[in-house]
Structure 1
């Protein structure tokens, strides 16, 4: 007696699908590629008047159907289901059959074709050999009914469910899964349609030797994604043991964990090491998989691949987030020590670095298994924000008292890398009031030009005689700043050369390495002979070399971020200025350059500073002392107020 497993012809396996509607989100469609349109049955057979449902398993939404010949078959679509109905009393061909095609189209113009064959009566056939087929335990085979007359019933003998499992019919396809060996006699699957047609499929389940598609797996690290190995043949009931080295196999998964589902082995790494995974089926057939899980690469927190320290008085700490323990830092090299005061890894795996000077160097970290991380460390230049509350004062009068030879300067160059933040007339950036000063003009509060303010005597040979009234030379460029929304970084050099015969050549300005055409504020001194030298001790105002202020006035402040400033006792050439306008000299380079009297790099990156050192050859006699701003100024400390520097070469 047979136990029947009956399934209606119209039943279909509900499969998940993903639809993208072109009307819902056109922008998303432009970004994502269209999904192929796939149906679960692309060839169906019907009797006249019968219908069948075909499922759409993937596509892009907005589906519609187009039958080629509605005198043979019609079609409708609802959601992801296409219903095809054979027309009653359609004219058949001489063999009492006829066929047509139904197109399924989605909103992205992807197309699937369904071949529809209609007849008065079909022979019942299936896509299997006449002698049936063999399976190994756990193997699944999909059986397709090629032709038939609908309302299919599938049956197996009583008790045969010990050997095979027959799954649910979807359209004209059903799965058969092997459970236990059948021996010499096959199990017969019988298919019957509504016209009484039958077909018998013999199935033999064999005991086989275990065969795997691969016998090794290598993982990049213990956190790597799982890998999969297919069981090509086997006898089900799989178990796993693990052998490390020459030790005894054990069920404890320390290096990798193996599981099996539907003849697919999943290998999930757990720890670094080598292990043999021994796969054994219920009939005792076994195979080995050689697995290597490589050590972790050394990683820092947030997956940082480099470090930046803002300022040379600053420090940085970062945790080693992943690795293999016993971390060591290679001894600091001479190059490291140029830029770093110290670097160490503590017992908690934290890297601690203290900066020394501006620039980039590389540290090397190793761990217990010899993994290595080359870590670039950059000590970043920072700019101090000068605002209405802070300026820098350099006591030039006291300096020249002890250096009389430098009081009368036949040549002088000031350079400054800065970012103006505000627009206001008569802002002063660097220089000596009444001697030689870089500022902006006095014409309103917007669209201001840079200018050199200086002193020129009407008789260059009589420096106690009459002077021209406030001689100034203005740039063509206008000052960009945050207030006007056009702020940017500048390198500006102003040059005095008393050896020249006219003011046109004696006074020069370079903006971002390019010489500027200067316009005198008055024609009186446009092309007269300049003074042969500048007298530094004749500075007025606050009686000092100032950065961010001049004129002993709270209304002559320089609102800007200062990256660096230089004072040279020579008239620097265009080539010299352009070559190193963004360069940061080392402390040793600056000290050894006798022409570079003043070199101020306020890149400390920390607050509560009262003095920014002079790294130039004149030493601490030209240190920049932090002062407040007001009519009367006094020493204060500088707050933690910095901005990262960009090179003006980018303009």
Structure 2
């Protein structure tokens, strides 16, 4: 540019004005911010104007010129308009912008009849299709107005230009769309020109070792490798009822939850995207517990965020099973010492009712009928604590038909049920309780459900083997249809708020709750009560 000659007297006066507080407020006590502006220099032809925007500050902005004979400034809100008043070959002024707390910024103003055309940058590196790295805004630092841009050669295949602010603000934006070395020519009204050289790179597209995962077991899994990409992968499952997904570096593991199809959206740290399609088509199985295995869950994990499950007024426990042998106190399902469904008598007894026991055995009921061996059986316990009559408070259904309960002890009944509490480590258990292997279930289980509502007789009867209609109040639903070696049974609670999987363990190691993996051979054909 040219040597600047500052008008000292106006600036000295301005300094006195700015440094003299207009009130007795203590500046250090004020909640103020530093002032920022979008540009600190402008180049103007005679009588031309440009704007400077205050991008941060404390309001009540004022602007003063060091020489009104060179340039004047007016303020409208946070926009300062600077207009050249000199008709000399070259002239310079300084505009000082202040706010109500005397924070300031300065703008150098050069006025001339002819300027060199200069830009804020002429060599620019961009990365196509990467947010934050694919665009740049170029400012014309000096020139002679009438600015135009031109994409040279095939540059239009690699960049897009936004020139909506070129005339008003002397700015334009370049957006990279493809890799290459495009050129852009900028010209002004006096025939001055500048060539911009761009270097554009592009991140690699995400590629996968395969784009379709087909799982032949409900709880099957498969690992996919990201063979190209920029790392930092995030994943989103379109239908989380069908599958779940984990990522470790460039390895993606897909695990099935229920039969169906879904897709997984994959994005890397540079914004590249890919889709992985998933289909789960597993067989319909049940798990043979024999008397070797049991399963447990802990609703206490839910209670951390939802205290209501500690004082539920209504519950329904359901199970589909096929029992192969009688055992005293063999556990069907429930909360030991709180509310549990269990067998009553050993083989040598003539009758084999099902017991419902709770509150430390202070309430004990049993079914009128015995249950049969080697037949598919649906059982459902419905408890409504709002009822005062024991016969209405506790109802039991066998194969969809209510079986009258015989009260054998009634020292206390439930006023509410804490689903996060049991005398066996607060576990909800299926197939064994209290760490005693003689209480292990002999049989096969295909499905179990826990509700926080009292299901009606019609709802119980209509949904023994297939769950349809409303699932309001369904806290957990376990289909024992994994079909592969596994250490857990997936909670398939139809999109409920919480997921509480069952942990599988060895029923023969009395008191041991260590998770173990059962082989695929324990998953056998399932049936339905007739």
Indicate the TM-score class for this superposition, using the shorter chain for normalisation: 0.3 to 0.5
Normalized against structure 1, the TM-score is what? 0.37
Higher RCO (C-alpha under 8 Å, 6+ residues apart): 2
